[in-house]
């Protein structure tokens, strides 16, 4: 009698974890995006994802939702190593897994958080649980690159996006706005850049010149297969945070990003100054912005007269009562802003869109 050993293909289930995790994009704050599935007889019987900052993690939520009795051969898949410490009011996911009776756990990647890295898997194994990892590690790391950057570099993942003509122009000769990218490029930018980042950042000159919306806008036919606007895409189509770097507080109160419902999703970063240095006009401007719901934060300038990036990153990655921090930023312009991030060695990915003709950022 002979036996044939069939190797299990874990890849599709890790891919499903990532797809689930993406539903939490823009809601998990400084936490990673995590999805989890429970598999029995090669079929997913229950799934969950980390829905928002401060809520149950994916594994714990899955176990809570599971009404079926765990069987010996059931396999739990997670795209990120389960946590093994108490985070504020959220208990360790390793404890929930151990208590559930699950005996097989497949993990996409180790958690880069030094409080967890390797320790979560070690704890599971010490309790008699088989752990297989890594599965699709590169894909899992890329998916949570913002969280990885925060753990490794103490700052968000920064993508710089530029658009220019073949001749290198980014604006008219007189500095006026130009429409550079075409419809296909705009659709790609919204789907693969704006919707994938926690925040979109520009300098105030871009707002003064172009008066952009700084939102992602896609039609249902432009969304990934199986998604529709308002149904799970970034959790009810919530927009990325809009950040405007504005040292002198020049942003017009008529600007779209600080008007109407848009205001509550906008952060204006201005220079830190002594009360005696702030003009009455600036104080009034700041008060009006805050009355609209705009977050106005003050950051010191460095010797070169630009924002101290480490201070900025600290503010953007520190949760407060109504702000849960962020792990990724799309920097869209303009020239001075690009230069500031480059000089701070704070650019992880640069995207250049080349157009034949003439865009204002919308």
Backbone φ, ψ for residue 76 (5° rounding): -100, 125
Output the DSSP codes for 7-70.
Answer: ----HHHHHHHHHHHGGGTTTSTTSPP-EEEEEETTEEEEEEE--STTS--HHHHHHHH--SPP
Output the DSSP codes for 269-285.
Answer: EEE---GGGS-HHHHHH
**Catalytic residue (choose from 22, 47, 59, 81):** 59
Rounded to whole angstroms, the Cα distance separating 68 from 60 reads 15
Output the DSSP codes for 119-156.
Answer: HHHHHHHHTT-EEE--SSHHHHHHHTHHHHHHHHHSS-
Rounded to whole angstroms, the Cα distance separating 313 from 308 reads 9
Q: Annotated catalytic, 59?
A: yes
Give the residue among 123, 149, 59 at the shortest CA–CA distance from 345.
149
How does 86-121 read in b/e, with b if 16+ C-beta sit within 10 Å? eeeebebbbbbbbebebbbbbbbbbbbbeebeebbb
Rounded to whole angstroms, the Cα distance separating 310 from 201 reads 16
Rounded to whole angstroms, the Cα distance separating 254 from 243 reads 16
Give the residue among 155, 189, 223 at the shortest CA–CA distance from 333.
189
Give the residue numbers annotated as catalytic, written as ranges: 59
């Amino acid at each position: 009698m002979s036996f044939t050993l069939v190797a299990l293909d874990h890849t599709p289930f890790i891919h499903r974890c990532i797809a689930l995790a993406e539903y939490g994009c823009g809601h998990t704050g400084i936490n990673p995006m995590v999805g989890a599935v429970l598999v029995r007889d090669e079929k997913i019987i229950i799934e969950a994802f980390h829905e928002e900052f401060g809520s149950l993690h994916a594994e714990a939520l899955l176990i809570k939702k599971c009404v079926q009795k765990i069987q010996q051969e059931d396999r739990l898949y997670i795209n990120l190593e389960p946590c093994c410490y108490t985070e504020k009011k959220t208990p360790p996911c390793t404890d929930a897994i151990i208590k559930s009776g699950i005996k097989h756990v497949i993990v996409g990647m180790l958690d880069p958080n030094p409080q967890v890295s390797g320790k979560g898997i070690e704890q599971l194994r010490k309790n008699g649980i088989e752990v297989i990892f890594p599965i699709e590690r590169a894909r899992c790391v890329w998916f949570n690159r913002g969280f990885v950057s925060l753990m490794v570099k103490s700052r968000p993942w920064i993508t710089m996006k530029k658009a220019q003509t073949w001749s290198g122009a980014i604006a008219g000769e007189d500095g006026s706005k130009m429409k550079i990218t075409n419809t296909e490029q705009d659709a790609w930018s919204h789907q693969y850049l704006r919707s994938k980042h926690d925040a979109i950042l520009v300098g105030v000159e871009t707002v003064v010149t172009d008066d952009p919306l700084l939102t992602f806008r896609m039609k249902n036919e432009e969304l990934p297969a199986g998604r529709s606007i308002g149904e799970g895409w970034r959790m009810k189509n919530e927009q990325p945070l809009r950040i405007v770097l504005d040292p002198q507080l020049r942003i017009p109160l008529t600007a779209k990003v600080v008007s109407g419902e848009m205001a509550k999703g906008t952060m204006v970063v201005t220079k830190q100054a002594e009360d005696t240095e702030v003009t009455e006009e600036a104080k009034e401007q700041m008060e009006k912005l805050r009355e609209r719901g705009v977050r106005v934060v003050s950051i010191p300038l460095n010797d070169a007269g630009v924002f101290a990036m480490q201070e900025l990153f600290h503010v953007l990655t520190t949760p407060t009562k109504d702000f849960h921090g962020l792990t990724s930023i799309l920097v869209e312009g303009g020239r001075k802003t690009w230069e500031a991030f480059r000089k701070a060695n704070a650019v992880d990915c640069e995207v250049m869109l080349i157009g034949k003709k003439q865009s204002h950022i919308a």
